[in-house]
Structure 1
Amino acid sequence: MNKFKVIQPSGLLAPYVKQYWFLRMEDVVRSSQRLVPLGCVALSFHRGNFAYSSQEKGCLPRSHLYGITAGYTDLVFSGCIDFISIVFQPAGTCRFFLISPGELKDRQTSLDVLDDPELLELEQRLNETADDLACVGLIEKFLFSRMCRFGKQDDKRIHAVIDAIRQGNTDVDSLAQTACLSYKQFKRVFSEKIGANPKDFLQIVRFQKLHHLMQLHTSMTLAELAYECGYYDKSHLIKELKDFSGFTPAQLFNACEPVYSGYHGLFRSAFIDLPPE
């Protein structure tokens, strides 16, 4: 049985959580996927076989917080694949965890080292629960309890900056003004709250826009894509695409699966199927 499901968070959690992902695949001989920068933190619970990670140079922790990264990671699965991922909004994790996104940067942090008994209890209960909606109920109960306990943790300045970026503002000086912070203060606060400095985050956002357009199998030329996504020129686009995905434009076009709705869009923005070796 192969099943992939996306479940949206409840309304009160939507400002902090993007989606819940559920993926089950049985008797996989060997599957290789490339995880490219998504620009947000994810909490993953692996209930199937271990997966090999090129970033870790070994098996992924069974369950872990995946921090923002500016590079790609190749994952190799086999046997039974069964995982749940909570994909947070860029500034969402601060409402639920004492560890800052900045401490998670470029890391896949095992839950075992977080000194968080409630998170380990959630992991155990998810391992014992087969129904996806029941799992979402357990996750949201955990998240709501954290919101109540930690109190008001929102940083309105950072949320305003993220909104400005979504509206197309990519000038760091202007974003610092939006946050009512000096340039130096803004870089420090942004890195702590988001898990990447403003320049790196904006590059990831630009790459994600490019990747999305390429998944639409657009007829746009590279020059048109460069202009639409805010690259200086084709050479700039090709370099950053190679840095973030390891692919040339032609290779990424060939690897991309068309996206016809937003249902799989976020998942396809993170994972790219690799050809068999």
Structure 2
Amino acid sequence: MQTFRIIQPTPALKPFIRYYWILQDSTSGIVSQRTLPTGCISLVFHRGERLKVTNRDELQPHSFICGQESGYSDVTSTGDIEMIVVVFQPHAAKIFFHMPVTLLRDRNVAVADIENPALRDLAHRVEDSENHDICIELIENYFYKCLMYGTPYHLPRLAEVVRHINNSTQTNIRALSNIACLSEKQFSRIFSENIGTTPKDFMRIVRLQRTLSVMQHNQGIGFAQLSYECGYTDQSHMIKEFKLFSGYTPKEYIARYSPVSDYFTF
């Protein structure tokens, strides 16, 4: 049996956290899934058995930060699943971890390996709590305490940059640096430190998510029209980029999976 639910953060945390999701799955047999880059950093708590990242041949830690990803991962269950996941706004994770989040790119970094006693304590309490509602309360209380120390000076300008990327199928580094009121060199450095990847790669990931979203909501769309709506130079460009991030061409992907993206939903 599988249950999945999304929980919205309190209004004060919404500028920093997109949502929480909780997955429980006690299905007999192995459950496998291919995950694609989402453009967001996540904080993951396993209260059940951990997942195995098969293409890296490693088990996920019990509690870990999942950094920005540059490609797909295949994950497989090793038993009953019970996960609580915090999905941050693309520009906001650095507030809570106090490190350049470029250090997390393409990594699952165990909370136990981070010099943050309060975060380690939170992980233990989430793992030991009686129910999910208590877990979410503990998580939100931790985030509120982090915000007591203030938010980074660059956060509002990065929020505007991300909003512009989300609303534009075509943009460039010069336009984004102008929105941020920074030189291109400063902008690229600050963007990477706070979002965890380069502006160019982040725009490519958002374009992938836009492609998945359009495919999800318009299943009969032709690939030529899809490439135009999502800002690719042409259909071959879209196919090349899609395969780079997913391991499949769009046609191969929809033959195996139902395209899903919530990037533009929350």
Please give the TM-score of this superposition, normalised by the length of structure 1.
0.89
Deviations 1:35-76 (CA, angstroms, capped at 9, x unpaired): 100001000011211221135421111111000011011101
Q: Secondary structure of 2:45's partner?
A: strand
Correspondence for 2:95: 95
Deviations 1:179-229 (CA, angstroms, capped at 9, x unpaired): 111112211111111101010000000000001111224221100000000
Correspondence for 1:262: none
CA distance in 1, matches of 2:226, 2:262: 20
CA distance in 2, matches of 1:114, 1:258: 35
Report if aligned partners of 1:9, 1:18 keep a CA contact under 8 Å in 2.
yes
Q: CA deviation at 1:153?
A: 2.0
CA distance in 1, matches of 2:30, 2:248: 21
CA distance in 1, matches of 2:67, 2:151: 23
CA distance in 2, matches of 1:55, 1:178: 39
Give the residue type in structure 2 aligned to 1:247: Y
Report if aligned partners of 2:2, 2:27 keep a CA contact under 8 Å in 1.
no
Correspondence for 2:152: 153
Correspondence for 1:197: 198
Report if aligned partners of 1:50, 1:60 keep a CA contact under 8 Å in 2.
yes
CA distance in 1, matches of 2:113, 2:55: 18
Q: CA deviation at 1:94?
A: 2.2
Structure 2 portions without partners, runs of 5+: none
Give the residue type in structure 2 aligned to 1:176: S
Correspondence for 1:141: 141
Report if aligned partners of 1:27, 1:78 keep a CA contact under 8 Å in 2.
no
Matches for 1:159-238 after TM superposition, within 5 Å: 159-168=159-168, 170-238=171-239
Q: CA deviation at 1:254?
A: 2.5
Q: CA deviation at 1:170?
A: 2.1
Aligned Cα RMSD in Å?
1.8
Q: CA deviation at 1:162?
A: 1.2
Q: Secondary structure of 2:4's partner?
A: strand
Report if aligned partners of 1:215, 1:253 keep a CA contact under 8 Å in 2.
no
CA distance in 2, matches of 1:184, 1:135: 41
Matches for 1:1-277 after TM superposition, within 5 Å: 1-148=1-148, 150-155=149-154, 156-168=156-168, 170-257=171-258, 265-266=261-262
Report if aligned partners of 1:39, 1:68 keep a CA contact under 8 Å in 2.
yes
Deviates more, 1:205-214 or 1:52-61: 52-61
Give the residue type in structure 1 aligned to 2:209: Q
Please give the TM-score of this superposition, normalised by the length of structure 2.
0.93
Q: Secondary structure of 2:79's partner?
A: strand
Q: Secondary structure of 1:196's partner?
A: coil
Give the % identical residues. 37
Structure 1 runs of 4+ with >6 Å offset: none
Report if aligned partners of 1:30, 1:77 keep a CA contact under 8 Å in 2.
yes
Give the residue type in structure 1 aligned to 2:246: S
Number of residue pairs aligned between Structure 1 and Structure 2 = 262
CA distance in 2, matches of 1:78, 1:97: 29
Give the residue type in structure 2 aligned to 1:266: D
Q: Relative contact order (C-alpha < 8 Å, sep 6+): which is higher?
A: 1
Q: CA deviation at 1:154?
A: 4.6
Change (3 A) 1:184 1:117: same
Structure 1 portions without partners, runs of 5+: 260-264, 270-277
Give the residue type in structure 1 aligned to 2:36: V
Report if aligned partners of 2:213, 2:259 keep a CA contact under 8 Å in 1.
no
